[in-house]
Amino acid sequence: MEGQKIVFFDGYCNLCSGAVQFIIKHDKHQQFHFASLQGTAAAQMLPAHLTISQGVDSIVFLENGKFYTKGTAALRIAKYLKFPINLSYVFMLVPAFIRNVVYDWIARNRYKWFGKKEVCWLPSPELSSRFLP
């Protein structure tokens, strides 16, 4: 998976599943792959400190062998999306501790605001090749 961009997401979260669908829609080069944090790929690929068992329940982005979380992950993903979404990467200038305050507030409330699925969202057959188990 060297060089691939992989988005690990909470498969039960409606907001997260919606974000994945948003990324797919705006990924002009189809460069992203996706894996649920609850899945086999996440268990095998993520370092122990980034797993659900260690409390990581939001987004993790693997890019060029490096893992990013929270606001940094979201902005690094946005950098590769279509214009004008990619312009949001400018928010990387905001210190991470400030970005993550906003990210953590949304993450804490995401189930309350957007709901939670009983089962992970499944991609359509034409998108399944971009999803890891």
Per-residue pLDDT tens over the stretch 85-130: 999 999 999 999 998 888 888 888 887 887 776 666 666 777 777 8
Asked if the model's pLDDT at residue 52 lies above 70, the reply is: no
Which pLDDT does position 55 carry in this prediction?
54
Domain range for residue 88?
5-130
User: What predicted TM-score, i.e. pTM, was given to this entire model?
Assistant: 0.84
CA 105 to chain centre: 16
Count of domains forming the chain: 1
More confident residue, 127 or 41: 41
What is the predicted pLDDT for the residue at 127?
75
The helix (H) or strand (E) run that includes residue 33 is strand 32-36
**How many angstroms separate the CA atoms of 76 and 57, rounded?**
18
